[in-house]
Structure 1
Amino acid sequence: MSNLLFILFTGIGATAVMDLWGIVRKPLLGIPLPNYGMVGRWLAHMTHGQFRHDSIAISSSIRGEHIIGWTAHYLTGIGFAALLIGIWGESWVHNPTISPALAVGIGTVAAPFLLMQPGMGAGIAASRTQHPASARLQSLITHAVFGLGLYASGRAIQLFYSI
């Protein structure tokens, strides 16, 4: 299997694991599912030169924002899988281990803390939300789950491909 296909499947798998975590945590913790439509809205507004919002929820809606958001969500997961392979290389493709996957997964929390949340009006690391500490913890847990998803997906692909 080419590294490109490995990255693609690993990124999709890890993102799906993260989405499953979102579904599970709703009944367990009462945390609503992420609204990737707001990510799509934020990205779509960028094409018109608006990169920062006071509140993305009150910004004008954009046709197709849900599709844009979900597509960006999965492309970002694939991009982070590429980062993992870019750092740890071919050896990780042949023998996925958990530490690098968790390091990348947890490290990716920088994207929402420093880019997405400020751009969408929530402040750096959710500082403008009602419960910043809780929002930060949930982001950290979700990105750790993404890291576990990178590992699990990498192992599953490696095991399946070696059959």
Structure 2
Amino acid sequence: MELLMKGAVIGFGATVLMDLWAVLLWMAFGQSRPNWAPVGRWVWHLKSGTVFHDNIAAAEPYGQEQALGWIFHYAVGILYGVILALFAGASWFAAPTFLPAWIVGIVTVGAGWFLLQPGLGIGVAASKLPNANAVRILNLVSHNVFALGLYGTALLIR
């Protein structure tokens, strides 16, 4: 149980760091602020079995989609932390190293590229967007920040 709790804590911490990174990009470089409403709408439609949309904006809205999107964002981050904890084990928490956290950070980009983004209707790895390569780079950088958050939070709680 302690391993699961530590995993949840590092997942939460990593997600917070990822969100702080997004705020920095917004404040310093004018990058768009994260909008979790489309993700919330996507999650809401999963209950009816619809995974892939041509355009999530055309799907029926859900009144609490922004909140649901944020909850989902943190739930997934916590899940990734728990997965790292289960694979790395208790010994990793005694002396955390960056490599396992980095592997989780990079591998989890795949969930966004091959499930979430096609589910939102923007294609595999944002291929339908005019700035697909920029989105991919931001995804990779953000997941590296997430990896730093996993590692850093593990260091803080050891």
Aligned-partner residue type, residue 16 of structure 1: V
- Whether the 8 Å contact between 2:54 and 2:121 is mirrored in structure 1 is yes
| Cα displacement string for residues 58-100 of structure 1 (whole angstroms, at most 9, x for unaligned residues) | 3221021112111111110111111112221111121111111
1:111 aligns with 2:103: no
- Whether the 8 Å contact between 2:104 and 2:147 is mirrored in structure 1 is yes
Distance in 1 (CA, whole Å) between partners of 2:17 and 2:89 is 22
Aligned-partner residue type, residue 140 of structure 1: L
Distance in 2 (CA, whole Å) between partners of 1:149 and 1:119 is 26
Aligned-partner residue type, residue 150 of structure 2: L
Distance in 2 (CA, whole Å) between partners of 1:151 and 1:113 is 23
Distance in 1 (CA, whole Å) between partners of 2:61 and 2:134 is 27
For 2:5, the equivalent position in structure 1 comes to: 5
For 1:38, the equivalent position in structure 2 comes to: 38
Aligned-partner residue type, residue 130 of structure 2: Q
- Whether the 8 Å contact between 2:6 and 2:85 is mirrored in structure 1 is no
Unaligned runs of 5+ in 1: 159-163
For 2:86, the equivalent position in structure 1 comes to: 86
Distance in 2 (CA, whole Å) between partners of 1:57 and 1:95 is 45
Superposition pairs for residues 96-107 of structure 1, below 5 Å?
Answer: 96-107=96-107
Distance in 2 (CA, whole Å) between partners of 1:83 and 1:53 is 28
For 2:74, the equivalent position in structure 1 comes to: 74
TM-score scaled to structure 1, two decimals?
0.92
Distance in 2 (CA, whole Å) between partners of 1:21 and 1:124 is 24
Distance in 2 (CA, whole Å) between partners of 1:126 and 1:157 is 36
For 1:121, the equivalent position in structure 2 comes to: 121
Root mean square deviation of aligned Cα: 1.3
How many aligned residue pairs are there? 158
TM-score scaled to structure 2, two decimals?
0.95
Unaligned runs of 5+ in 2: none
| Cα displacement string for residues 120-154 of structure 1 (whole angstroms, at most 9, x for unaligned residues) | 00100000011110000000000000000000111
- Whether the 8 Å contact between 2:106 and 2:143 is mirrored in structure 1 is yes
1:16 aligns with 2:16: yes
Distance in 1 (CA, whole Å) between partners of 2:55 and 2:148 is 31
- Whether the 8 Å contact between 2:41 and 2:65 is mirrored in structure 1 is yes
